[in-house]
Structure 1
Amino acid sequence: MKTMTCRDLGGPCDLAHRGETADDVINAQDQHLKAQEKAGDAAHQPARDDMKGRWRHPKKSLGWYRAMQKKFADLPED
């Protein structure tokens, strides 16, 4: 199990997301950003817009995705 924060994934806060894989924490970040958007949190809106763009255009976002996978792989186990 490893931990990445919202900030590690491009967001504005230090909420911790834990998972076995990079995809686990990326999906947790997506859910977090959706919830913050729904709550009207303007600080998270740019990160939410970026995430929506990545889901819509995955080939264009492959660089970000690979960077997050590497960042996750380099983390120590919790």
Structure 2
Amino acid sequence: MRTMTCRQLGGPCDLGHTGETADDVINAQDRHLKEAEKAGDATHQEARDAMKARWRHPKRSMDWYRGAKQAFAELPED
């Protein structure tokens, strides 16, 4: 298990997302940003918009995804 924060994944806060894989924490970040947006948390809006925009641009999306996976792999086990 490893933990990445919202901030490490491009967000504005230090909420930790723990998972066995990078995909686990990326999916947790996705849920976190959606919930924050739904709750009207303006501090997370920019990160949520960036996340939505990334998936409209496959190359940019894959660059971000590879970077997140690399950062996850470099973290120590919890």
Q: TM-score range by the shorter chain?
A: over 0.9
- The Cα RMSD (Å) is 1.0
State the TM-score, normalized to the length of structure 1: 0.94
State the TM-score, normalized to the length of structure 2: 0.94
Structure 2: gaps of 5 or more residues: none
Superposed, 1:5-44 pairs within 5 Å as 5-44=5-44
Query: Runs (4+) of structure 1 moved beyond 4 Å?
Result: none
Cα deviations by residue, 1:28-57 (Å, 9 ceiling, x for unpaired)? 000000000000000000000011122333
What is the rounded CA distance, in whole Å, between the counterparts of 2:58 and 2:24 in structure 1?
Answer: 17
Residues matched between the structures, number: 78
